Structure 1
Amino acid sequence: MLWTIIVTIVGGAVIGLIGKAVAPGDRTKFPLWLTIVCGIVGMLVGSLLYWVLVGNNNESFDSHEPTWDNVTNGVDWMRHVWQIVVAAVAVIAASILTGRKRA
């Protein structure tokens, strides 16, 4: 349980920072905690969207069925792309909701 929380926070920070970097406009005055929240949202929602749209028809691998958080054998790069895109959308939405202005 503790490991899941640590991975979620660290992964959320990485995905959130990448999402903030690819989001259009200047949003550098964004607080770090909100970036991490956007990254966590990007991780979860991006994984679920990828699973629903393209990942749920994969074949079994390593003697287990694919799940929403483990779709392929190895690193699932396309799922991470989906996560970054969703995190970028979350950054844009958070900046609009918090009244952050472009510089």
Structure 2
Amino acid sequence: MEFTVVGIITALVVGLIIGALGRLVVPGKQNMPLWLTLVVGVVAALLGTVLARAIGVAETRGFDWWEFIFQVAFAAIGVALVAGAGRRRHLTR
């Protein structure tokens, strides 16, 4: 696997978009900084791609809708977990 500047920037942009979509899916307000949304999005994008490849739906003609759905679902789960952990920590202070 070769890392390029363009590849890294693309991963960050995709991660930010996936993270933002994950935040839109989760109801309520999430007090998460932008950098944490980015991290959740990048991890979710990677996990969604791994899952899509594992079940054989990652390589399709055109846009890979199943891969995208998996990525957004992982992002929503990640946002919900991180936002929930932040709320619990805030309530215990």
The two structures have a TM-score, normalised by structure 1, of: 0.74
Could you tell me which amino acid in structure 1 is paired with residue 82 of structure 2?
A
- Matched residue pairs, number? 86
The answer for the alignment partner of 2:25 in structure 1 is 22
Aligned-residue CA RMSD in angstroms?
A: 1.7
Structure 1: which 5+ runs fail to align? Answer: 56-69
3-state SS, counterpart of residue 98 of structure 1: helix
Alignment partners' CA distance in 2, 1:98 and 1:2: 33
Alignment partners' CA distance in 2, 1:97 and 1:19: 16
Q: Percent of aligned pairs with the same residue?
A: 35
Alignment partners' CA distance in 2, 1:40 and 1:50: 15
Return the structure number with greater helix share.
2
Structure 2: which 5+ runs fail to align? Answer: none
- Quick one: which of 80, 90, 95 aligns to 2:68? 80
Map 1:1-16 → 2, pairs under 5 A: 1-16=4-19
Return the structure number with greater relative CO, CA threshold 8 A, min gap 6.
1
The answer for the alignment partner of 1:62 in structure 2 is none
